[in-house]
Structures are given as C-alpha cells and as structure tokens.
A and B are shown apart, each in its own frame.
Chain A
C-alpha cells in the first residue's frame, strides 16, 4: 500500500517538526523581499516629493524633524512545484524508487499546504504526463494523495529538458521547484535544471537510486535490457567492468551534487530503501545547516 492508514498522522508529525524544530526552513514562511503593502515593517526611506504622505512616519518627524517613509514587506503566497519522474527507470528497487518518490512528494506537499503555500505536482518522463494544478489548503492533501496514487509509470525515456519546458509553459508564477527523480537522462540532467534556474526558480533536486543500480552484482555474459527504451546489449561483465561501472555511477552522483552546490540548489541523494519520513527529516536538517 502506497499510503498506509497512518500516513496522514506521520505527515502531521512532520509538519509540526518542520515548524517548531526547523522553523520552516525547508519550505514554509518564505517571504518575498518586494516592498509593498504588507503589515510587516521592513525599513525607512527618504521622503521624495510625490510620495504618498500616508506612509510618512509622523513620530520620527515630530521628534527629529526628519521626513522618512515607512516601508512594509509585502507578503506573497509561495508556489511550490513538484516535478515527479514517472519514467520506467523509477520502477527499480524494493520498494521502488517511484513509491518512495510519491510518498516524499505527498509529505513535502503536506508541509507546504500546512503553511498555506500553493502546491502543484507535475509528473513527467519525456514530457509532462499529468498535472495536479496549484492548490492551497491542508484539506487538499487527500485529493493530492489520490492523484499520486493514480499515477502510472510510462514506457518512455526520461527527457528532463523537454519536460521542464512543458512545466514552464504551465506555470505563471515562479516559486520553488522540487525535482524528484533518478536523473538518469541520457541527454543530461543539466539542461532541464538550467531552464528552471533561468526562470528564477528556487530549486531542490531529490535524486533517488536503487542499491542494485549503485553496485550491480552481476558478472559474466549477460544481455542488458534497458527498460526505458527496450534496447538489448550483449556484454561480458568482468570485474574490471563492474569496477568501472561503480566509478561512473559515483561520478554521476557527484556531478549532481556539484551542480546543486554551484547554483545554490538544495540537493538530496538517497537510496530508495530509506523511509520517506527519515528522508524528509534529513532534508530539513540539510536545509537548516545550509
């Protein structure tokens, strides 16, 4: 069962932990720096002729004779976009990467909804497959979970660049983009993430992998069957090949970390064997330490 009966209870626990312990460092209570008509005082500004006198700080003028305008920070709703990979490569591991990814999206979405943020979920493989439109309110978690539960894996390649283009067409406001995927894109994961950066999205990459992907316990003559494109390749896997594979895999993981660090993105890499709530807590810790 993807979402067990106590799933919502565990989500509530994570939400409380997020607010009280980590003080919303992961998602919630983010504010734009744009001055406006909010209620939160931001700073003083020199008065210029033509400025609205309603914002003149009369107390300062009465005491010191200085004409200063009070500026307030404008509160805006935070838009959180979850990009969920539903290619066939996510069907690996026990439990599968796809299951963990859906549980993780549900958990993060609940935390965001609990902080009155707007949440949208888009599944993709070589393009955007399905969309759960922007929504708000904690009570929307149930329809979101039903949406996630209804998602199926596609038989197409992962094309993150094309999928992000599709996402950008559908979104009007920038916000936080959380990409949950294995990032096994033959054309490279950087193109897709670059497009999000260019549109000033704050980003967080969650890369999941199965243990057998990191260390394939296979030697000898085998026929490699790529589940995404149904291609076959007859190879002889020697110990040297296996060592090279492990090195390439580690290098790939390292390149994802380096990319996120270089562009100030959050990055979480984990095997699919961990529990979703442990992973969420780890993400909170990493976000606060960052």
Chain B
C-alpha cells in the first residue's frame, strides 16, 4: 500500500492520550451515599459490573483506537499498488443538447447525466485525471485534464442544457484528441442518444478493431422511449410581389406512435392571428406554408396547445381520449417557435410630372408609398424621398434616389438623342431583382427617345441597336434608374408588367435583399430541429442497455472514502455503547 501523505501518520500519536484517558477512566468516581438500602435492591437482581461490563470498556477502547486508525489512514490517502500503477485518465462528454431537457428521466435527462458525472468524479483516485467536454452545437472543453475533485465538481455544477442540437461526433473527436495516445484512457459519453450524430446502433463499448483508438469509448444513455410533438421549422419572409404580405413556413413533427391532436396558435406581437387545429398521424411531419398580410412587423410566434391523443377503436368510430399532455409532450421547449417579421416602411415619393394618370396611380395603389405630385420642378429637393421625374428633369440630377421616366432633355447623367419609332427590346438582365417577373419583349415602346449614359451604367433592358430602355445609372450620392419609354405613346402603362417594374424599383430603392430572389428570410428562434424533437433514442432495440450501463460498479471510490465510512460506523458504534451505559 502506498500513502499519499505519509506524514499524516504522526496523528497516530493521539492514541497515547486515548489510552491514558482510558486508564484514568477506570478509577471510578466515588459517590457518597447515606444508605445502600435502595441501591442494594436495584443491583441484587444482577451482580454489578458483570464480565461484559468489564469487557465493554476494553471493547470501547479498541473501537476508539480503530476509529483513530481509520481517520489517520483516510487522511494519509492510501492506495493499493495496482491502483497506483493504473492511474486513469477519463474524458467525460456531456451532451447538453435540447433533448436532454426532456423529463422522461427524473428530474431531467441532463440532471441524471450530471448526477452520473458526479459519481464518476466521486470514484476518482488521487492519481486519476478527468476532463469534461460539453457537447452542444459546438464541442466545448469545460475543464481540461485535472485531478482536483472540487474543481471538477464546480465545473459540473455550472453546466446547463442548451436549446441547440447536439453535435456528438465532433465532441467525441475532441475527446479523443484530449485523451491522447495513452493506453487505458477512457471516454465516457453521457447522452440521450438523440443527437444528429450519436450513439452507434449497437452501442459498442469499443470501436472496430481496425480503426480502434487507444482510448476506450463508453456510452451511457439517459433516455426512455419518450414521445413528443414539436415545431421543427418556423420561417417567415416578406413577399416582394405583395407589399403587405408575408409567408410563414411551419413544420410540426409528431414523434410518437399515436395519433395526436393539437392546435397551432399563431401570434404576431402577442396578438392572435390564427389558430389551426391539427391531427397528426404516427410519426407524421406536417408542413404548411401560410400566407398572411401585415404592414407592421414584429415577433411572430407559434405555440402548440391542447395536445391530446386519439385512440382508434376496432370499429370505424374513433374514440377520442384526452391523454395526459405531459406524457405526450416530454419536451416543452419545442412547443414554441418564433421568428421576426420585418416592418414595411412607407416610402415618401415626390412625383414630378406634367401629368400622367397611369404613373400616378401605380404609385398611389402601392400601400407602401406616400406620394406627393407636383407639376413642375421644385426649387429644393426633399431629403429621404424617392424622386420620380416624368419628362421634367433638371440639368443636374439631384442627390438621392431618383427614378427618371421618359426625360425631355439631356442632363449630366445622360444625353438625349433622336426618336426611336419601334425599338425592339432584346437585351434583358433577368438576374437583377429589378427585372423579377418583368418581360418587356412583347411590349410596344413607340416614340422612345434614344438615351445614352454619360457615365457608367448597368443596362437592364436594351434595344437590339444598343440603346438603353431601362438602366441603372451610377450616381454619386444615390441611386438612379432611367426608363426611356414614352408612357403616353407606348403600351407599357397598360401592361401588368408596369406595376411590377415599379414595385421592383421601390424594393430596390428600399434596399431589400438583392441576393434572394423575391423574398426576405429573417432569423428565426426556437429549437427547430427534427432530430432533437424526436426524443426516442436512435437505437430503439437497446432500451434496457441504458439501465445496465448506468449501474456504477463496486469499489470504484478511493480507499480514503471507505476508511472514512468505517470511521463513521465506528463512531456510531461507540456512541451507541456510550449511550447504552446510561440508558440501559
């Protein structure tokens, strides 16, 4: 046996005063009594100070000496030779994914895993080392290799589950790198088996021999075949075609073998906007794109409520029974999902035109536009306003966002040329967001003047002769769109493409996403992970194994723990004997 702190043996000197006190104690206290009349009657039934009474003092002394020996040895931290030679290195991988918050294992899967981790820490001997890795969406080393038990305990007590999907594969890989090449190292993965990349199907305690690393990997599973229903997808986007509209994509998964009935309650800024009754068959994934309209944006949330199961009888009639919602829904965090819907901004538009009802109406019909119409060029240009100039243009185009339609003269950005009778549009930039759903090939554009950009430009629509019809001009202090079409002579104003063009232009000026075609996707929140919402472990044939593996073996704690336990037992025994002397 090897002692960690041999100097603690000096405490054995306390045996000397114990023995001395024992010897002193044998000399009994003398009590003067006026008569033995009563004491004699008490003790005449049994002889005083029987053999056991004499012996139990000696027994008590032996107990006290054993107690001292146990305590001193516990402080000395002994270890057996084989324990000293086999100092262990262990890496604990704790799965902190969202499914670990399920309460099918009391109190939760994560709490049970932490308890198990504490037991591993309890079993550490003085030469053992342990590291802890948290396996969330990204592996995270909570504490490196350490043999300091209090530090490990503190680290474990600070761990909390996260609302993220688990990424066990990379966590195990990190654990392997942390464990190193030493033989006998051990990686223990505490998981529920619901991560994306998780426990092998057969739960092997050793990887295949061909690629076997030196560190053993053991999986301990904390899960049962719990059922759950949750929102696995919840996305919202604005439609460019509809200034007020938005689309909501919802996916709900029933991860159970029963038919489940529930309600999906949709709220925008805590105000209900819709309630959808749902009936989901076993393992059914329900997808739906829901269109709604709202000028204002905000927090759009979906809640699953009134969850109940439907049990079908042998006959045709369905007998509905409301089962315990908690038993059908072991994970509550995926019952709610939310996304943020952006506000639609009302844009101030100044329309300078000698008069064109089509152009005026196409702006007035757009609810995102606050239009002001003037008949001549103003002296000063307003700020933060989209300026639409029809025919009337100044010599110098003002700063800011400007849309020019059929200018009547040349400016600093273009020169106006001859009249084109029937220009044929052949060059269309279909990739631009300005040209989404815009097809000008069938549009007659009579009486269109030839325009040439004086600076750099990006032609969105051009004629076969190379003249621009619709172009984006490079402008120093803003953006400028130039449409050469004569609205009065061409049939563009009568076509449905015209409001689409204007709507695209408004979106382009507003600065909406240009890389997504016709939509705006915003960040969404919630668990939204189909695998995490399915609380059933990947290996459903090995349910019993988790319980078997959860059992901690005997004699796993260090020797000092057992010595301290023996000391406690001896203390209780000595106290019992001491107390018995006065109560028996």
| Additional 20 contacts, C-beta under 8 A, given A221-B28, A237-B582 | A184-B34, A184-B35, A218-B31, A220-B29, A220-B582, A223-B28, A223-B29, A223-B30, A224-B33, A225-B30, A225-B31, A227-B32, A228-B34, A231-B36, A233-B39, A235-B48, A236-B53, A238-B582, A241-B42, A249-B38
Q: Quick check: A245 and B38 within 8 Å, CB to CB?
A: yes
Confirm or deny: B37 has a beta carbon within 8 angstroms of a beta carbon on chain A: yes
Complex: how many Å from CA A225 to CA B39?
11
Q: Collect the chain B residues with CB atoms within 8 Å of residue A90's CB.
A: 34
A213 within 8 A of B: yes
Contact A233 B584 (CB under 8 A): no
- Residues on the B chain within 8 Å of A117, using CB: none
Chain B residues in the interface with A (C-beta under 8 A):
25, 28-43, 48-49, 53, 581-584
Beta-carbon nearest neighbor of B578 in chain A: A220
How many Å from the CB of A230 to the closest CB on chain B? 11
Task: Find out whether the CB atom of B36 lies under 8 angstroms from the CB atom of A222.
Answer: no
Contact of A240 with B584 in the complex, beta carbons under 8 Å: yes
List the B side residues contacting A219 at CB < 8 Å: 582
B49 and A235: CB pair below 8 A? yes
Q: How many A-B pairs with Cβ below 8 Å?
A: 91
CB < 8 Å neighbour of B33 from A182, A225, A238, A241: A225
**Contact between chains at A234 and B34 (CB < 8 Å):** no
Inter-subunit contact A224/B34 (CB<8 Å): no
Question: Does the CB pair A244–B42 fall under 8 Å?
Answer: yes
Instruction: Note all chain A residues with C-beta closer than 8 A to B36.
Output: 186, 224, 226, 229, 231, 233
Q: Return A248 CB to nearest CB of chain B, in Å.
A: 4
Closest to B582 in A: A219
Which of B30, B37, B584 has the most chain A CB within a 10 Å cutoff? B37
Which residues of chain A are within 8 angstroms of B41 by Cβ–Cβ distance?
248
Give chain A nearest CB distance to B576 CB in angstroms. 14
Contact string against B for A residues 62-104, beta-carbon threshold 8 Å, 1 for contact and 0 otherwise: 0000000000000000000000000011111000000000000
Q: Please, how many angstroms separate the alpha-carbon atoms of A61 and B581 in the complex?
A: 87
Check: A252 CB closer than 8 A to any chain B CB.
yes
Chain A residues closer than 8 Å to B581, beta-carbon distance? 220-221, 236, 238
A232 closest partner in B (C-beta): B30
Contacts of B39 in A (CB 8 A): 224, 233, 235, 245
Q: Select which of A225, A235, A248 is within 8 A of B32 by beta carbon.
A: A225
Could you tell me the distance in whole angstroms from the C-beta of B49 to the nearest C-beta in chain A?
A: 5
Partner of B30, one of A210, A216, A222: A222
Q: In the complex, what's the smallest C-beta–C-beta distance from A98 to chain B, in angstroms? A: 11
A186 to B40 CA separation, bound complex (whole angstroms): 10
- Residue A239, interface by CB 8 Å: yes
Chain A contacts for B584, CB-based, 8 A: 238, 240
Cα A233 to Cα B49 with chains together (Å): 10
11 pairs, A vs B, C-beta closer than 8 Å:
A89-B35, A221-B28, A224-B31, A224-B33, A229-B36, A233-B36, A233-B39, A234-B28, A236-B581, A238-B582, A239-B583
What residue in chain B is nearest A93 (Cβ atoms)?
B34
Provide the residues of chain A in CB contact with B35, threshold 8 Å. 89, 182, 184, 186, 226, 228
Find out whether the CB atom of A245 lies under 8 angstroms from the CB atom of B42.
yes
Could you give, for residues 129-162 of chain A, a 1 whenever the CB lies within 8 Å of some chain B CB and a 0 otherwise?
0000000000000000000000000000000000
Q: How far is the CB of A285 from chain B (nearest CB, A)?
A: 28
Query: What's the nearest-Cβ distance from chain B to residue A59, in Å?
Result: 65
Residue from A184, A236, A237, A240 whose CB has the most chain B CB atoms within 10 Å: A236
User: Across the interface, which residues of A come within 8 angstroms of B33, CB to CB?
Assistant: 213, 216, 224-227
- Pick from A88, A213, A222: contact of B29, CB below 8 A: A222
Chain A residues within an 8 Å CB radius of B583 = 238-240
A-side contacts of B43, CB under 8 Å: 233, 235, 241
Question: In the complex, which residues of chain B have a beta carbon less than 8 angstroms from the beta carbon of A182?
Answer: 34-35
Whether A210 and B28, one on each chain, are in contact in the complex, defined by CB atoms closer than 8 angstroms, is no
Residue of A nearest to B28 (CB): A223
A184 surroundings in chain B (CB, below 8 A): 34-35, 37
- Cα separation A213 to B33 with both chains bound (whole Å): 8
Minimum CB–CB distance for B168 against chain A, Å: 63
Determine whether the beta carbon of B37 is less than 8 Å from that of A234. Answer: no
Residues of B within 8 A of A216 (CB): 31, 33
Residues of A188-219 at the interface with B, using a CB-CB cut-off of 8 Å, are 210, 213, 216, 218-219
Q: How distant is the Cα of A228 from the Cα of B32 in the complex, in angstroms?
A: 10
From residue B573, how far is it (CB to closest CB) to chain A in Å?
A: 18
**Distance of A144 Cα from B48 Cα, bound (Å):** 46
- The distance in angstroms between the C-alpha atoms of A190 and B556, with both chains bound, is 74
Please give the distance in Å from B516's CB to the nearest CB on chain A: 89
A244 to B39, alpha carbons, bound, how many Å? 9
- Considering the chains assembled together, what is the distance between the CA atoms of A33 and B42 in angstroms? 49
**A residues near B40, Cβ cutoff 8 Å:** 233
A231 to B28, CA, bound (A): 15
What's the minimum C-beta distance from B582 to chain A, rounded to whole angstroms?
Answer: 5
- Please name the residue on chain B nearest to A182 by beta carbon: B34
Cα distance, A286 to B35, chains bound together (Å): 29
Chain A contacts for B32, CB-based, 8 A: 225, 227
A188 (CB) vs chain B CBs: closest residue: B37
Q: How distant is B27 from chain A, measured CB to nearest CB, in Å?
A: 9
Give every chain A residue within 8 A of B29 (Cβ-Cβ).
Answer: 220-223
Residues of A within 8 A of B42 (CB): 241, 244-245, 248
6 closest pairs, A vs B, by CB?
A89-B34, A184-B35, A223-B28, A248-B38, A226-B36, A222-B31
Task: Check A92 against B31 for contact (C-beta < 8 Å).
Answer: no
How far is the CB of A94 from the nearest CB of chain B, in Å?
Answer: 13
A287 CA / B26 CA spacing, docked (Å): 52
Contact B48 A236 (CB under 8 A): yes
Contacts of A244 in B (CB 8 A): 42
Chain B residue at minimal CB-CB distance from A221: B28
Is A210 a contact of B31 with CB atoms below 8 Å? no
Nearest residue, chain B, Cβ from A240: B584
